[in-house]
Amino acid sequence: MSFQGARLLCRPILEPGLIEMIGFFSAVKSSLLSTILILVVFRTPPLPAQTVREGAIERGSFTLHYRTVGTGRPLLLLSGGPGFDVDYMMPLAQRLGASYQCILLEQRGTGRSQPPTLTAETINVGLMVDDIEALRNSAKFDRLVILGHSWGGMLGMAYVAAHPDHVESLVLVASGGMDAGFAPIFMDNIIARANTNDRQKIRQTEAAMGSSSDLQAVYQDLFRVMVPLYFFDRERAEQFMAAGRKESFHPQLAQLLQADLLHNYHVQNQLRHFNRPVLIIQGHQDPMPEGVALESKATLPNARLVFLNECGHFPWLEQPDAFYKNLETFLKSEP
Protein backbone atom coordinates (compact mmCIF):
# COMPACT_ATOMS: atom_id res chain seq x y z
CA MET A 1 0.00 0.00 0.00
CA SER A 2 1.44 3.35 -0.99
CA PHE A 3 0.90 6.46 1.09
CA GLN A 4 3.40 8.59 -0.79
CA GLY A 5 2.63 12.24 -1.18
CA ALA A 6 0.47 12.60 1.91
CA ARG A 7 1.44 15.81 3.64
CA LEU A 8 -0.41 17.71 6.31
CA LEU A 9 1.56 20.83 6.99
CA CYS A 10 -0.33 22.75 9.64
CA ARG A 11 0.61 26.09 11.09
CA PRO A 12 -0.85 26.27 14.58
CA ILE A 13 -2.42 29.45 15.92
CA LEU A 14 -2.82 29.66 19.70
CA GLU A 15 -5.93 31.29 21.12
CA PRO A 16 -6.63 32.01 24.79
CA GLY A 17 -7.59 28.84 26.61
CA LEU A 18 -6.34 26.55 23.84
CA ILE A 19 -3.43 24.16 23.55
CA GLU A 20 -2.33 23.17 20.10
CA MET A 21 -0.88 19.77 19.59
CA ILE A 22 1.20 18.84 16.68
CA GLY A 23 2.62 15.58 15.55
CA PHE A 24 4.27 14.38 12.43
CA PHE A 25 5.38 11.23 10.77
CA SER A 26 7.60 10.66 7.76
CA ALA A 27 7.89 7.71 5.42
CA VAL A 28 10.68 6.97 2.98
CA LYS A 29 9.35 4.96 0.04
CA SER A 30 11.50 4.46 -3.07
CA SER A 31 13.79 7.26 -1.92
CA LEU A 32 10.85 9.64 -1.46
CA LEU A 33 9.92 11.17 1.88
CA SER A 34 6.23 11.34 2.65
CA THR A 35 5.08 13.25 5.64
CA ILE A 36 1.94 13.74 7.61
CA LEU A 37 1.84 16.43 10.24
CA ILE A 38 -1.16 16.59 12.44
CA LEU A 39 -2.65 19.46 14.36
CA VAL A 40 -5.14 19.21 17.17
CA VAL A 41 -6.45 22.11 19.19
CA PHE A 42 -8.31 21.44 22.38
CA ARG A 43 -9.53 23.36 25.36
CA THR A 44 -7.64 23.20 28.63
CA PRO A 45 -8.03 25.00 31.95
CA PRO A 46 -6.25 28.35 31.72
CA LEU A 47 -2.88 28.74 33.36
CA PRO A 48 -1.93 31.91 35.19
CA ALA A 49 -0.70 34.11 32.38
CA GLN A 50 2.91 35.23 32.44
CA THR A 51 4.26 38.12 30.44
CA VAL A 52 5.41 37.21 26.95
CA ARG A 53 8.34 39.29 25.71
CA GLU A 54 9.32 39.67 22.06
CA GLY A 55 12.82 39.23 20.71
CA ALA A 56 14.45 39.27 17.28
CA ILE A 57 17.86 39.06 15.65
CA GLU A 58 18.90 39.82 12.09
CA ARG A 59 19.94 36.83 10.01
CA GLY A 60 21.10 38.40 6.78
CA SER A 61 18.07 38.47 4.50
CA PHE A 62 15.43 38.04 7.20
CA THR A 63 14.66 38.56 10.88
CA LEU A 64 14.60 35.60 13.26
CA HIS A 65 11.88 36.04 15.86
CA TYR A 66 11.46 34.49 19.28
CA ARG A 67 9.45 35.04 22.44
CA THR A 68 10.44 34.58 26.08
CA VAL A 69 8.37 33.73 29.13
CA GLY A 70 9.65 33.83 32.71
CA THR A 71 13.09 34.46 34.17
CA GLY A 72 15.99 32.28 35.22
CA ARG A 73 18.09 29.78 33.35
CA PRO A 74 17.47 29.85 29.58
CA LEU A 75 15.29 26.96 28.40
CA LEU A 76 14.93 26.78 24.62
CA LEU A 77 11.71 25.15 23.34
CA LEU A 78 11.90 23.64 19.85
CA SER A 79 8.64 22.73 18.14
CA GLY A 80 7.92 19.75 15.93
CA GLY A 81 7.11 19.31 12.30
CA PRO A 82 9.29 20.23 10.67
CA GLY A 83 7.33 23.30 9.70
CA PHE A 84 5.08 24.07 12.65
CA ASP A 85 4.93 27.35 14.46
CA VAL A 86 6.03 27.19 18.06
CA ASP A 87 2.73 28.49 19.48
CA TYR A 88 1.53 25.06 20.55
CA MET A 89 4.37 24.95 23.09
CA MET A 90 3.24 28.13 24.84
CA PRO A 91 1.47 26.15 27.62
CA LEU A 92 4.80 24.48 28.39
CA ALA A 93 6.44 27.89 28.57
CA GLN A 94 3.73 29.21 30.86
CA ARG A 95 4.15 26.22 33.19
CA LEU A 96 7.95 26.21 33.21
CA GLY A 97 8.31 30.00 33.08
CA ALA A 98 7.76 30.17 36.83
CA SER A 99 11.35 28.93 37.24
CA TYR A 100 13.05 29.34 33.85
CA GLN A 101 13.41 31.81 31.04
CA CYS A 102 11.59 29.87 28.35
CA ILE A 103 12.52 30.82 24.80
CA LEU A 104 10.02 29.97 22.07
CA LEU A 105 11.99 30.06 18.83
CA GLU A 106 10.11 30.74 15.62
CA GLN A 107 12.29 28.50 13.47
CA ARG A 108 13.25 29.87 10.07
CA GLY A 109 10.39 29.42 7.64
CA THR A 110 7.80 29.35 10.44
CA GLY A 111 5.90 32.13 12.20
CA ARG A 112 7.38 35.54 11.43
CA SER A 113 10.87 34.18 10.67
CA GLN A 114 10.49 34.15 6.90
CA PRO A 115 13.42 34.26 4.47
CA PRO A 116 12.47 36.07 1.24
CA THR A 117 12.74 32.80 -0.68
CA LEU A 118 12.58 29.20 0.46
CA THR A 119 15.17 27.05 -1.28
CA ALA A 120 17.68 24.38 -0.32
CA GLU A 121 20.13 27.24 0.16
CA THR A 122 17.94 29.00 2.74
CA ILE A 123 16.26 26.02 4.44
CA ASN A 124 18.42 23.24 5.82
CA VAL A 125 19.37 21.72 9.16
CA GLY A 126 22.77 23.41 9.24
CA LEU A 127 21.26 26.88 8.93
CA MET A 128 18.72 26.12 11.64
CA VAL A 129 21.55 25.08 13.95
CA ASP A 130 23.32 28.34 13.07
CA ASP A 131 20.14 30.25 13.97
CA ILE A 132 20.15 28.78 17.47
CA GLU A 133 23.81 29.66 17.92
CA ALA A 134 23.13 33.20 16.71
CA LEU A 135 20.32 33.53 19.24
CA ARG A 136 22.55 32.25 22.04
CA ASN A 137 25.30 34.70 21.14
CA SER A 138 22.88 37.60 20.82
CA ALA A 139 21.32 36.90 24.21
CA LYS A 140 24.78 36.33 25.75
CA PHE A 141 23.83 32.95 27.18
CA ASP A 142 26.75 30.76 28.18
CA ARG A 143 24.77 27.54 27.85
CA LEU A 144 21.24 26.54 26.92
CA VAL A 145 18.89 23.95 28.31
CA ILE A 146 17.11 22.58 25.22
CA LEU A 147 13.71 20.87 25.14
CA GLY A 148 12.70 19.53 21.73
CA HIS A 149 9.46 17.81 20.77
CA SER A 150 9.36 15.37 17.84
CA TRP A 151 11.32 17.06 15.00
CA GLY A 152 12.37 19.65 17.59
CA GLY A 153 14.27 16.91 19.41
CA MET A 154 16.15 16.12 16.21
CA LEU A 155 17.05 19.79 15.80
CA GLY A 156 18.18 19.88 19.42
CA MET A 157 20.46 16.89 18.83
CA ALA A 158 21.87 18.53 15.70
CA TYR A 159 22.72 21.61 17.77
CA VAL A 160 24.35 19.47 20.44
CA ALA A 161 26.43 17.73 17.77
CA ALA A 162 27.70 21.08 16.48
CA HIS A 163 28.00 22.99 19.79
CA PRO A 164 28.24 20.54 22.71
CA ASP A 165 29.96 23.06 24.99
CA HIS A 166 27.02 25.45 24.68
CA VAL A 167 24.39 23.01 25.98
CA GLU A 168 23.77 22.57 29.69
CA SER A 169 21.28 19.73 29.31
CA LEU A 170 18.90 18.25 26.75
CA VAL A 171 15.30 17.03 26.97
CA LEU A 172 13.94 14.86 24.14
CA VAL A 173 10.15 14.51 24.11
CA ALA A 174 8.74 11.96 21.64
CA SER A 175 11.79 12.76 19.56
CA GLY A 176 12.78 11.45 16.18
CA GLY A 177 16.08 9.65 15.89
CA MET A 178 19.72 10.46 15.25
CA ASP A 179 19.16 9.98 11.54
CA ALA A 180 16.08 9.63 9.32
CA GLY A 181 16.08 5.84 9.34
CA PHE A 182 13.18 5.56 11.79
CA ALA A 183 10.71 7.08 9.31
CA PRO A 184 9.40 3.94 7.52
CA ILE A 185 8.67 2.18 10.83
CA PHE A 186 6.98 5.29 12.18
CA MET A 187 4.74 5.29 9.10
CA ASP A 188 4.03 1.57 9.43
CA ASN A 189 3.03 2.02 13.07
CA ILE A 190 0.60 4.78 12.11
CA ILE A 191 -0.99 2.82 9.30
CA ALA A 192 -1.23 -0.32 11.44
CA ARG A 193 -3.57 1.58 13.76
CA ALA A 194 -5.90 2.62 10.95
CA ASN A 195 -8.99 0.57 10.28
CA THR A 196 -10.29 -0.23 6.79
CA ASN A 197 -12.41 2.91 6.59
CA ASP A 198 -9.51 5.10 7.76
CA ARG A 199 -7.20 3.64 5.12
CA GLN A 200 -9.76 4.24 2.42
CA LYS A 201 -10.14 7.86 3.52
CA ILE A 202 -6.37 8.32 3.50
CA ARG A 203 -6.14 6.98 -0.06
CA GLN A 204 -8.99 9.25 -1.17
CA THR A 205 -7.32 12.25 0.43
CA GLU A 206 -4.00 11.45 -1.23
CA ALA A 207 -5.74 11.24 -4.60
CA ALA A 208 -7.30 14.68 -4.07
CA MET A 209 -3.96 16.34 -3.31
CA GLY A 210 -2.85 16.45 -6.92
CA SER A 211 -5.96 18.19 -8.21
CA SER A 212 -7.43 20.21 -5.36
CA SER A 213 -7.28 24.01 -5.48
CA ASP A 214 -7.65 24.11 -1.70
CA LEU A 215 -4.88 21.97 -0.26
CA GLN A 216 -5.52 23.26 3.23
CA ALA A 217 -8.99 21.74 3.09
CA VAL A 218 -7.50 18.46 1.88
CA TYR A 219 -4.98 18.49 4.69
CA GLN A 220 -7.76 19.19 7.17
CA ASP A 221 -9.63 16.11 5.93
CA LEU A 222 -6.49 14.06 6.36
CA PHE A 223 -5.85 15.27 9.87
CA ARG A 224 -9.36 14.27 10.94
CA VAL A 225 -8.48 10.70 10.02
CA MET A 226 -4.93 10.68 11.37
CA VAL A 227 -5.19 12.46 14.72
CA PRO A 228 -6.64 9.52 16.69
CA LEU A 229 -3.76 7.33 15.55
CA TYR A 230 -1.30 9.40 17.60
CA PHE A 231 -3.18 8.85 20.85
CA PHE A 232 -3.64 6.09 23.36
CA ASP A 233 -7.16 7.37 24.06
CA ARG A 234 -8.76 7.74 20.64
CA GLU A 235 -12.13 8.83 22.00
CA ARG A 236 -10.40 11.73 23.68
CA ALA A 237 -8.65 12.57 20.42
CA GLU A 238 -12.00 12.73 18.65
CA GLN A 239 -13.16 15.33 21.15
CA PHE A 240 -10.08 17.44 20.50
CA MET A 241 -10.44 17.27 16.72
CA ALA A 242 -13.68 19.23 16.79
CA ALA A 243 -11.68 22.36 17.53
CA GLY A 244 -9.09 21.78 14.78
CA ARG A 245 -8.13 24.75 12.65
CA LYS A 246 -7.77 24.76 8.90
CA GLU A 247 -5.26 27.60 8.52
CA SER A 248 -1.95 26.13 9.48
CA PHE A 249 1.45 25.39 8.15
CA HIS A 250 4.48 25.71 5.95
CA PRO A 251 4.57 22.90 3.38
CA GLN A 252 7.47 24.15 1.27
CA LEU A 253 9.68 24.46 4.34
CA ALA A 254 8.78 20.94 5.45
CA GLN A 255 9.56 19.42 2.06
CA LEU A 256 12.92 21.16 1.81
CA LEU A 257 13.93 20.22 5.32
CA GLN A 258 12.85 16.60 4.97
CA ALA A 259 14.98 16.24 1.85
CA ASP A 260 17.95 17.72 3.70
CA LEU A 261 17.45 15.39 6.66
CA LEU A 262 17.79 12.35 4.41
CA HIS A 263 21.23 13.37 3.24
CA ASN A 264 22.73 15.64 5.89
CA TYR A 265 21.43 14.54 9.27
CA HIS A 266 23.57 11.88 10.96
CA VAL A 267 24.54 12.86 14.52
CA GLN A 268 25.07 9.61 16.41
CA ASN A 269 28.86 9.66 16.37
CA GLN A 270 29.02 13.20 17.76
CA LEU A 271 26.46 12.46 20.47
CA ARG A 272 28.53 9.58 21.84
CA HIS A 273 30.82 12.21 23.37
CA PHE A 274 28.14 14.48 24.88
CA ASN A 275 28.40 13.97 28.63
CA ARG A 276 25.88 16.52 29.88
CA PRO A 277 22.57 15.27 31.37
CA VAL A 278 19.83 14.16 28.97
CA LEU A 279 16.21 13.24 29.71
CA ILE A 280 14.27 11.21 27.15
CA ILE A 281 10.48 10.98 27.58
CA GLN A 282 8.31 8.83 25.36
CA GLY A 283 4.87 7.23 25.56
CA HIS A 284 4.63 3.47 25.32
CA GLN A 285 1.79 3.96 22.82
CA ASP A 286 3.63 6.54 20.72
CA PRO A 287 3.85 5.43 17.07
CA MET A 288 7.46 6.58 17.25
CA PRO A 289 9.35 3.27 17.53
CA GLU A 290 10.53 2.61 21.07
CA GLY A 291 13.83 1.59 19.53
CA VAL A 292 14.47 5.25 18.69
CA ALA A 293 14.42 6.23 22.36
CA LEU A 294 16.39 3.14 23.36
CA GLU A 295 19.10 3.88 20.78
CA SER A 296 19.35 7.48 21.93
CA LYS A 297 19.65 6.27 25.54
CA ALA A 298 22.40 3.82 24.55
CA THR A 299 24.30 6.49 22.61
CA LEU A 300 24.15 9.41 25.03
CA PRO A 301 26.46 8.63 28.00
CA ASN A 302 24.48 10.54 30.64
CA ALA A 303 20.89 9.93 29.50
CA ARG A 304 17.85 8.87 31.50
CA LEU A 305 14.91 7.30 29.66
CA VAL A 306 11.34 7.49 30.95
CA PHE A 307 8.49 5.62 29.28
CA LEU A 308 4.95 6.67 30.17
CA ASN A 309 2.12 4.18 29.83
CA GLU A 310 -1.28 4.96 28.31
CA CYS A 311 0.47 7.73 26.41
CA GLY A 312 0.97 8.58 22.75
CA HIS A 313 3.02 11.20 20.93
CA PHE A 314 2.13 14.08 23.28
CA PRO A 315 3.07 13.01 26.81
CA TRP A 316 2.34 16.38 28.43
CA LEU A 317 -1.25 16.09 27.19
CA GLU A 318 -2.12 12.46 27.93
CA GLN A 319 -0.03 12.04 31.08
CA PRO A 320 0.60 15.59 32.35
CA ASP A 321 1.24 14.70 36.00
CA ALA A 322 3.89 12.11 35.24
CA PHE A 323 5.36 14.22 32.45
CA TYR A 324 5.86 17.35 34.52
CA LYS A 325 7.01 15.41 37.58
CA ASN A 326 9.82 13.78 35.61
CA LEU A 327 10.69 16.94 33.70
CA GLU A 328 10.74 19.28 36.68
CA THR A 329 12.70 16.80 38.82
CA PHE A 330 15.29 16.55 36.05
CA LEU A 331 15.55 20.32 35.59
CA LYS A 332 15.80 20.98 39.33
CA SER A 333 18.59 18.44 39.69
CA GLU A 334 20.76 20.54 37.41
CA PRO A 335 23.07 23.09 39.05
Q: pLDDT digits over 265-300, tens only?
A: 999 999 999 999 999 999 999 999 999 999 999 999
Domain count, the chain: 1
Output the pLDDT for position 226.
Answer: 84
Categorize the per-residue pLDDT at 74 as very low, low, confident or very high, splitting at 50, 70 and 90. very high
With vertex at residue 158, the alpha carbon angle to CA 327 and CA 63, rounded to the nearest 5 degrees, is 95
* Statement: residue 249 has pLDDT above 90: no
Report d(CA 241, CA 225) in Å as an integer.
10
Least confident of 82-96, 120-134, 151-165, 297-311: 82-96
Contacts of residue 321, Cβ cutoff 8 Å, sequence gap at least 6? none
Sheet harboring 100-105: ordered strands across? 52-58, 63-69, 100-105, 73-78, 144-149, 167-173, 278-283, 303-308
Average pLDDT on 31-42 reads: 35
Q: Which range, of 26-30, 127-131, 174-178, averages the lowest pLDDT?
A: 26-30
**Predicted confidence band at 5 (pLDDT cuts at 50, 70, 90)?**
very low
| Structural domain contains residue 141 | yes
Has residue 309 got a pLDDT over 80?
yes
Q: Domain limits at 201?
A: 18-332
* pLDDT at position 210: 74
Strand, coil or helix: 241: helix
pLDDT digits (tens, 9 = 90+) for 166-190: 999 999 999 999 999 999 999 899 9
Residue-wise pLDDT for 226-248, tens only, equals 878 989 988 777 765 664 454 55
pLDDT at 118: 96
Q: What is the CATH number of the domain that holds 186?
A: 3.40.50.1820
> Does the residue 3 lie in any domain?
no
pLDDT of residue 63: 98
Residues 6+ apart with CB under 8 A from 214: none
pLDDT for res 214: 74
What pLDDT, on the 0 to 100 scale, is given for residue 219? 66
pLDDT at residue 13 is higher than 70:
no
Does residue 45 carry a pLDDT above 70?
Answer: no
Is residue 9 included in any domain, yes or no? no
Say if 241 falls within a structural domain: yes
The mean predicted confidence, pLDDT, of the chain is: 84
Amino acid identity of residue 155, one-letter, is L
Evaluate whether residue 195 is within a structural domain: yes
What was the pLDDT predicted at 1? 34
In sequence order, which residues have a C-beta less than 8 Å from that of residue 23 and are 6 or more positions away? 37, 38, 80, 150, 174, 230, 313, 314
Is 80 exceeded by the pLDDT of residue 47?
A: no
Residue 11 in any domain: the answer is no
Q: What is the pLDDT of residue 233?
A: 84
Surface-to-core class of residue 52, CB atoms within 10 Å of its CB (0-12 exposed, 13-18 middle, 19+ buried): middle
Question: What pLDDT was estimated at residue 240?
Answer: 55
Band of residue 335 on the pLDDT scale cut at 50, 70, 90: low
With a pLDDT cut of 90, the percent of the chain lying above it is: 63
Look at residue 181 and tell me if it is in a domain.
yes
pLDDT tens, 214-224? 766 776 787 77
Residue 4 included in any domain: no
What is the pLDDT averaged over residues 239-260?
A: 72
